[in-house]
Amino acid sequence: MAPRKIDPEKLRAALDAQLIALDSPAYDGPASALADALIAAVVAAYDRGLEPERAAVRLAVRHLLERLAGAAPGRTVEVRVPPHAAVQAIEGPRHTRGTPPNVVETDARTWIWLALGRITWDEAVASGAVSASGARADLSDHLPVSGI
């Protein structure tokens, strides 16, 4: 299943709101780079010790989850970042009902850090920031998903 595209107008609105919150000018780059610019703005907010705009975090998480699903297609592992988004990824046996046997769950900031390679899978699991259950619920071979 191909990842769904995020509405560019929603991306731009969330990005501009995040940039305003950072006292930065509105985005004037290419539409093709909106998602990466949004992720960078969310990271900048975290780096400054600020809480990023909710819509910006939601779309950044969703975009990075979709990158994971695109890079590791399948339905064996469900990766959840409540309340923002969840995807199924990784080839192998798939589940069809109820709670999947392989589940990864984390918060938005941890997911963004994992997806960008700012922390390793082992560091996140050891710190308790990631809950991973099931024999295939190890994402270390699929991270990072972005080099922003």
Please tell me the distance from the alpha carbon of residue 84 to that of residue 58, in angstroms, as a whole number.
Answer: 5
Per DSSP, the three-state class of 117 is coil
**Is the confidence at residue 2, as pLDDT, over 60?**
no
Architecture of domain 8-142: 2-Layer Sandwich (3.30)
Residue range 43-99, pLDDT digits in tens: 999 999 999 999 999 999 999 999 999 999 988 999 999 999 999 999 887 666 667
Per DSSP, the three-state class of 138 is coil
Report the candidate in 64, 98, 114 with the shortest Cα–Cα distance to residue 84: 64
Strand 77-81 relative to strand 103-106: parallel, antiparallel, unpaired?
A: parallel
Give this prediction's pTM: 0.92
Please tell me the distance from the alpha carbon of residue 62 to that of residue 34, in angstroms, as a whole number.
Answer: 13
Name the residue with higher pLDDT: 123 or 146.
Answer: 123
Token pair of 15, please?
């990005």
Average pLDDT value for residue range 30-34: 94
- Domain coordinates of the chain in residue numbers? 8-142
